[in-house]
Amino acid sequence: MPELRTETMTVNMGPQHPSTHGVLRLVLELAGETVVDTNVTIGYLHTGIEKTAEQKKWQQIIPLVERMDYLGAQSSSLAFCLAVERLLGVEDRMPPRVKDIRVLIAELQRLASHLVGLGTHALEIGAVSVMMYCFRERELLLNINEMLAGFRMFPSYLRIGGLREDLPVGFHDAVNAFLARFPGKLEEYAGLLTKNQIWIKRTKDVGVLSQEETIGYGLVGPIARAVGVNYDVRRAIPYSGYETYEFDVPLQTAGDVYARYLVRLEEMRQSVRICKQAIERIPPRGMFDIQDYRIVPPPKDKVYTEMEALIQHFLVYSQGFTVPQGECYVPIEGPRGEHGFSIVSDGTNRPYRVKLRAPSFYACQSVPRMIVGGMIADVIAVIGSTDVVMGDVDR
């Protein structure tokens, strides 16, 4: 009888693999189809955005930070604006209308991000039609971005000190139409997956993490809440008036791929709930910044009667504004969890240091724990459940 060969095989998965959600490379050691070891390799995107930001004026950084977590672009710009506004000491002067608009935009961004996460995850496991349906609704959200600012994925609509401009005509109608349509479509996705036996067999008891491991890895967002860690920045450290909104923080306890799916599904329901409250509070017209022309450029149609106003207008546009010396860290609850900027100012019109706490980076380090001992097919399910964005990792 011939002797059975027992050596393992090492294979690359990525960095150019459609199921790695970006340029993530996994070096897998396989015994047959079982993963016995893995090495997670990052660094293929190497955007250098954090260092580039240190060479830019404060307002110029917003388009850069939106390209880190490119699926949660306006969550990134919100976190950055809140951090700079804290250093400027103007966060308490923000008009309530601006806060409500920011909350609405952040929650619409969460929906758009989760739709990509759910759609691509379902596609990778084999539910092709779910991705088509998810991207159908995401297009409507991108249309709203285009109406809002002229850009679909990176609107750069949020500004330090407020918003770029007032809401366009028809914005309320477009948002209300989406909010009326979306809950039924969300239940359509759930109807295709939640009780689907193929989906359940591919996701239940796969990629399990304990609560202790989750906390030890520093994991946040849906991954942490899927194992019962009741932490949501919107509740723990409220910002932009979130403490005035009614919503629930979804929790599961199993800590597997299926539990993460259920958490994100419920998060979308809660985001719709928040959006409906926000859009009711927002008048179609009103203040859209703190009206401090040392920080925010005066309106384009402003009539200048004093030379000082003309000079200030020129300085804001050409030289930017200065931020007092100091440092701060301000987190928000992005689509992937706590997403915060640590900023150091040396008192000039450029930051001395910009550093992002990226939830995707922490999620990458937990991947080996979730896939070793499982099948190679489970690797795909696990990566999809982490919802990592490599622009968030290679900054």
The tens digit of pLDDT for each residue in 349-375 reads 999 999 999 999 999 999 999 999 999
* Alpha helices, H only, the chain: 49-53, 62-65, 73-88, 96-125, 128-149, 171-193, 197-203, 211-216, 221-225, 233-236, 257-281, 307-318, 359-371, 376-386, 390-393
Q: What three-state secondary structure class fits 26?
A: strand
Give me the pLDDT at residue 6, please.
72
- Fold classified for 46-292+323-366+388-393: Cytochrome-c3 Hydrogenase; chain B (1.10.645)
Tokens coding 84 = 């700079």
Q: Between the CA of residue 298 and those of 75, 290, 294, what are the distances in Å?
A: 25, 11, 9
Judge whether 336 and 389 are in contact, CB under 8 Å. yes
Q: What three-state secondary structure class fits 289?
A: strand
**Distance, CA of 365 to CA of 386 (rounded, Å):** 11
Tell whether omega for the bond before 15 is within 30 degrees of 0, i.e. cis.
yes
Tokens coding 78 = 């919100």
Q: What is the pLDDT of residues 67-103, one digit of tens each?
A: 998 899 999 999 999 999 999 999 889 999 999 999 9
Strand partners, 28: 11, 38
Between 293 and 149, the more confident residue is 149
Give me the pLDDT at residue 16, please.
81
Is 304's pLDDT higher than 60?
A: no
**Distance, CA of 200 to CA of 197 (rounded, Å):** 5
